[in-house]
Amino acid sequence: MQGVLVCGHCYQQPPPYLALRSACYFQSTVREMIHRLKYKRARHLALPLGRLLVPLRAALPQPGELIVPVPLYSTREAARGYNQSLLLAQVLAEELRLPVESQALRRRRDTPAQVGLSAAERQRNVRDAFVAEPSLVKGRDVLLIDDVCTTGATVSACADALRRAGARSVVALTVARALDSPGSVSPP
């Protein structure tokens, strides 16, 4: 894809996903909206945040045919009452008329929150934390959805699990990206 910038780290060690795109930086109003969605039960914010993902699909080298949200561990999802990534995925699926498969990927162990961890600690924290269901992803081009990318550790761990289960390709979209996170293209 002409004009795409690749960070030095990704150039030297290609990630298990083809591309990662984010709608904006994790700051100001978007940061507040994501925090309210995740921690204040403001589920209605999934609609405007999810719609931010729609135009990003056109910039992907492989647009994906199956939408898979990053899962929460069952006890965390039960405490919150929902998975914010699934809510975002459902908005995107409705806009793009693509299927969402929330059972394609699951978190096999409870991991501590990533907030406050270094990049290396984040990678260790989520290493082998996810498992994908081969019957749902084998031979499919997966569009992985999450709310925020900080270091890319979670997206990489999920993409790795999806690829091990036979996904043909994995591309990822997040609503926001930390200002200093890795990736191929920075938000505007």
Euclidean distance between CA atoms 102 and 32, whole angstroms:
26
Q: Could you give the C-alpha distances from 151 to 96, 111, 157, 184, in angstroms and in order?
A: 27, 16, 11, 12
Structural domain boundaries of the chain?
Answer: 13-177
CATH for the stretch 13-177: 3.40.50
Q: What is the pLDDT of residues 112-136, one digit of tens each?
A: 676 676 777 777 777 888 999 999 9
pLDDT string in tens for the chain (188-residue length): 344 455 555 555 555 566 889 999 999 999 999 999 999 999 999 999 999 999 999 888 888 999 999 999 999 999 999 999 999 999 999 999 999 999 999 999 887 676 676 777 777 777 888 999 999 999 999 999 999 998 888 999 999 999 999 999 999 999 999 886 544 344 44
In this structure, the strands spanning 19-25 and 141-149 are unpaired
Euclidean distance between CA atoms 92 and 57, whole angstroms:
10
Burial degree of 2 (CB within 10 A; 0-12, 13-18, 19+):
exposed
pLDDT computed for residue 63 by the predictor: 86
Euclidean distance between CA atoms 108 and 97, whole angstroms:
29
